[in-house]
Amino acid sequence: MSRSLREVVFVDGVRTPFGKAGPKGIYAETRADDLVVRCIRELMRRNPALPADRIDEVAIAATTQIGDQGLTLGRTAALLAGLPTSVPGYAIDRMCAGAMTAVTTTASGIAFGAYDVAIAGGVEHMGRHPMGEGVDPNPRIVSEKLVDPSALVMGSTAENLHDRFPHLTRERADAFALASQQKYAKAVADGRIGPELVPVATRSAEQGWGLATVDEPPRPNTTLDGLATLKTPFRPHGHVTAGNAAGLNDGATACLLAEEETARRLGLPIGMRLVGYGFAGVGPEVMGVGPIPSTEKALARAGLSIEDIGLFELNEAFAVQVLAFLDHFGIADDDERVNPWGGAIAVGHPLASSGVRLMTQLSRQFAERPDVRYGLTAMCIGLGMGGTVIWENPNRSGSTTEETTK
């Protein structure tokens, strides 16, 4: 039996304010699963036209699937959020690209016809669950030299990129980091970042209850001179610092995906249309270059070129990783198409949640930019991978489903 694929759309996305990991962070005494439950509830509140029993799947990612980030998180979060017991769910782990993979996996199910509507997202509470907590890496990884030992330390893999591409200097990385902070601050001041945030009640045994309404990690007073003084914790006289890399963070994201005609029948908004995606592997010790082959793969399969992309949302795990991507594709460090509202160096990177943050921002940018047809979200992934998702702007004048399929 032949079967045609259906169009998949990004309906809406939300996230908690991102916090700093650790005992002084805003979520130090808040459960990880409660963060993602709050996002699911907010999605339903913002989209009252969607009956809860029309949701066919809930896929929630976490890198460290232990404690309050374990127990088949998609299912438990769905139940805790008050969705009907008929709504199934599951958990996903692809390290930093967990939420991205939750989107591509459920979107594939929608395109195939298994689902009409799905929720996808991710959560990471790095204060409660540091990356790698409870894992037992097979000793063969090191003893048989299957990968370089530095592959298990993400900061070391970023230093390896500086070694491989010496023209990607610390000065360039610091300048990119400063721009991220400045663009984020401007986006907040202009009201562009904020509407997607879900207020979260926080608890502190010492200070009582509070309400998280803004991101905690940004450092608006950052200067180049200040960045130049920071230590390089992964290597003496290295290049990677706390200023030109994303921090350790807590936070959650969630989004609604739907088959396009179903979304229209239900009166749901259409933020963007899925064009295609790609994942690729690279040497684990240089995982930061992963988005390069994944983007090449996604573009080739979509019949597009890098010149067709009008907006880029690139996850800033490390400045050098983004710079390597930009250099490869001949894009300037300060190209206004790239992370126009800043990125993870400013706002934070709660690992498995970040993919949906990128998508939510791209969707909101599409609404402001009817002149742009295509955008992409891309990120490097621990253990040597990259992921890229290409989207079409439905707000573009003359944009149609038929155009996408040509």
pLDDT (tens digit, 9 = 90+) per residue, 232-283? 999 999 999 999 999 999 999 999 999 999 999 999 999 999 999 999 999 9
Q: Write out pLDDT tens, residues 279-336.
A: 999 999 999 999 999 999 999 999 999 999 999 999 999 999 999 999 999 999 999 9
In 3D, which of 375, 253, 247 has the Cα closest to residue 313?
375
Catalytic residue flag (residue 39): no
Average confidence (pLDDT) over 343-362 = 98
Mean pLDDT computed over every residue of the chain: 95
Q: Average pLDDT for residues 196-225, to the nearest whole number? A: 95
**What letter would DSSP give residue 69?**
G
Six token digits for residue 325:
């991507």
Residue at 218: amino acid letter: P
Q: How far apart are the first and last CA of the chain?
A: 23
Q: For residue 152, how many other CB atoms are within 10 A of its CB?
A: 18
> At 401, is the pLDDT very low, low, confident or very high (cuts 50, 70, 90)?
very low
Query: Quick one: pLDDT band at residue 397, thresholds 50, 70, 90?
Result: confident
Distances (CA, A) of 139 to 24, 136, 145, 146, 298: 35, 9, 10, 10, 34
Amino acid at 120: A
The pLDDT score that the predictor gives to residue 399 is: 53
* Interval 94-114: pLDDT, tens: 999 999 999 999 999 999 999
Residue 20 identity (one-letter amino acid)? K
d(CA 284, CA 158): 11
Percent above pLDDT 90 for the chain: 89
pLDDT category at 146 given cuts 50, 70, 90 is confident
Q: Is 327 helix (H, G, I), strand (E, B) or coil?
A: helix
Say which of 125, 129, 239, 349 is annotated catalytic: 349
Of 39, 96, 125, 129, the catalytic one is: 96
pLDDT at position 142 is 77
**Which of 125, 129, 162, 380 is flagged as catalytic?**
380
Indicate the helix (H) or strand (E) that contains 91.
strand 89-92
Distances (CA, A) of 372 to 148, 176, 270, 369, 401: 41, 24, 16, 6, 16
Supply the pTM of this predicted model: 0.95
Confidence band, pLDDT 50/70/90 cuts, at residue 139 = confident
